Chain A
């Protein structure tokens, strides 16, 4: 694998996993609805 391929892979995977983890964390740490029900 070239350095460019590594950079693209690690960059894209980091963004996708990072954004997904952040959103999932928000889902898990928020109550079911705004009213907390």
Chain B
């Protein structure tokens, strides 16, 4: 063993293809099919794609390489969790591991609300198969399923709890099987199936004719809208921010999952080609399948205007979960199968992503507390269940949205910034470049050395600052005019500062003796803050134990680890 190595991990990927599929599966999520087409539709169609592709090249690909390099470097030192891999970058900077706590919070909180969405997809798959949507509109089914009819803060879930338990149980079971036996096997089954489902739906949707029952427009009108070239988006900051944000979220960078997966790669094995391959595979799913299913089918049956309205805010959830099941009913005998394919696809996209949230947490428990894999999986399942139930029960009050915003959006960008800063400026771009290119099976263009250091960090910083102070209606020009005219900066309610200050929200925690959504939102934020503090304490404690060599066979302490 090399002098710098700690206890070697027994876990390894079985095959290179399995690793690439697992990382691609981590990236491919519901957002590829729901968020991307909705963002494209809301930001001028083709006008969105030029900034999107530029963002992919200057931010997405560099961040992927950074995460892979950080992860493999951590794995060499026996570290697989986000605090561990960051600590391995700079052992003399003990504060760096605490920034890794952001990764743990993201993974746990996102796993909680993501497993809940995943369970909806599973339930919809089941109900499509048994023909529920043939007689019940999805708009009626959804609130009944969640138990949120008439509720303002708290739901009365029934069936949704069962599907949530099944989904979480499945995640825990797969994770307990290990990296190769669980995650890799799931990706090898799930990803080809997902692609097959997507291709069948895209072909069926795009071959709808104007004479078919219920069809009001050619599906190509929808496809044409997404792909109509329009360079005006290049001069619009809102389009740039939406495009860059979408690239960020679709690649699952800024989570720490990719770093964890890469930490099970050998010291001299390739990461540059694997990273690029997984990233581009995600783009095929997003750009080709993501644009060829929901929007064309929606436009064919509802017309372009209705689809634009249904995707307001860049959220394709309403179109995907509430409208498509009803539209599929036009497809006769194929309707139940179409529902199974669509929601099955979303479920597969979801589970391959949620598994990537779980693995780094299991790694944290295994690395730092020497828990066995099954025990780690159960602890992960228990913690995810507790946080998930907050989302389930307080869905109407906005707990789910709070998890999504703070853990799934805000912290993601923040941690992405931490990663690239730690890699390029703390670890050093020279050592970083050597780490990235060692054993590489492709020649990484040298320009990316410059990009990783000078372009990607300010690019992410810009997204972060823009999210902090996003103006009302996303109208930056009007906001600047207002500021210049002494009218102040009109903060949007969904900007970070706007959220903190509850911009646009009236009233307090109680109204007429009952709790208000504002109370649910504040308590959810306190819960997430408490989670951060708890995990920070756990990290500090476990490093202290590590320094004392507690619970480690052979007494490998901090000094020996480096």
Contact = CB atoms under 8 A, between A and B. Distances in A.
The answer to whether A binds B is: yes
Contacts of B220: 1
Interface string B222-235: 01100111000000
Contacts, number: 83
B368 interface: no
A30 B228 contact: no
Contact of B283 (A20, A24, A27, A33): A20
Interface residues of B, number: 31
Contact of B227 (A5, A17, A33): A5
B442 A16 contact: no
B220 to A, nearest CB: 5
Interface in A19-37: 19-20, 23-24, 26-28, 30, 32-35, 37
Contacts of A30: 16, 270, 273, 441
Contacts of B266: 33, 37
Contacts of A8: 46, 49, 227-229
A24 B49 CA distance: 24
Nearest to A37: B266
Given A17-B288, A23-B280, A33 B270 contact: yes
B281 A24 contact: yes
B284 A17 contact: yes
A20 B268 contact: no
A16 B46 CA distance: 16
Contacts of A1: 220-221, 223-224, 227
B274 interface: yes
Contact of A12 (B223, B287, B439): B287
B430 interface: no
B276 interface: yes
Interface in B214-251: 220-221, 223-224, 227-229
A14 to B, nearest CB: 10
Nearest to B281: A20
A10 to B, nearest CB: 9
Contacts of B277: 20, 23-24, 26-27
A13 B223 CA distance: 13
Contacts of A32: 15-16, 269
Contacts of A26: 273, 277, 441-442
A19 B53 contact: no
Contact of B53 (A12, A27, A28): A12
B20 interface: yes
B17 interface: yes
Contacts of A37: 266
Contacts of B439: 33-34
Interface string B373-410: 00000000000000000000000000000000000000
A26 B206 CA distance: 32
Nearest to B223: A1
A21 B163 CA distance: 37
B268 A2 contact: no
A5 B20 contact: no
B283 A7 contact: no
* Residue in A26, A27, A30 whose Cβ sees the most chain B Cβ within 10 Å: A27
A17 B291 CA distance: 14
Given A8-B229, A33-B268, A33-B439, A27 B273 contact: yes
Contacts of B288: 13, 16-17
Contacts of A12: 49, 53, 227, 287
A24 B273 CA distance: 9
B75 to A, nearest CB: 13
B64 to A, nearest CB: 12
Nearest to A32: B16
A19 B228 CA distance: 22
A4 B229 contact: yes
B223 A16 contact: no
A13 B281 CA distance: 12
Interface in B247-278: 266, 268-270, 273-274, 276-277
A4 B225 CA distance: 11
A8 B287 CA distance: 12
Contacts of B227: 1, 5-6, 8-9, 12
B273 A23 contact: yes
B209 to A, nearest CB: 15
A4 to B, nearest CB: 5
A20 B281 CA distance: 6
A34 B270 CA distance: 7
A6 to B, nearest CB: 8
A16 B229 CA distance: 17
Interface in B413-466: 439, 441-442
A28 B224 CA distance: 35
A33 B224 CA distance: 43
Nearest to B442: A26
Interface in B266-313: 266, 268-270, 273-274, 276-277, 280-281, 283-284, 287-288
24 contacts: A1-B223, A1-B224, A2-B228, A4-B228, A5-B228, A7-B229, A8-B46, A8-B49, A16-B288, A19-B280, A20-B281, A20-B284, A23-B277, A27-B17, A27-B273, A27-B274, A27-B441, A28-B17, A30-B16, A30-B273, A32-B269, A33-B269, A34-B270, A34-B441
List the 3 shortest-distance A-B pairs measured between CB atoms, nearest first.
A1-B224, A33-B269, A23-B277
Given A1-B223, A32-B15, 11 more contacts: A5-B224, A6-B227, A8-B49, A16-B287, A20-B277, A23-B281, A26-B441, A30-B441, A32-B269, A34-B269, A34-B441
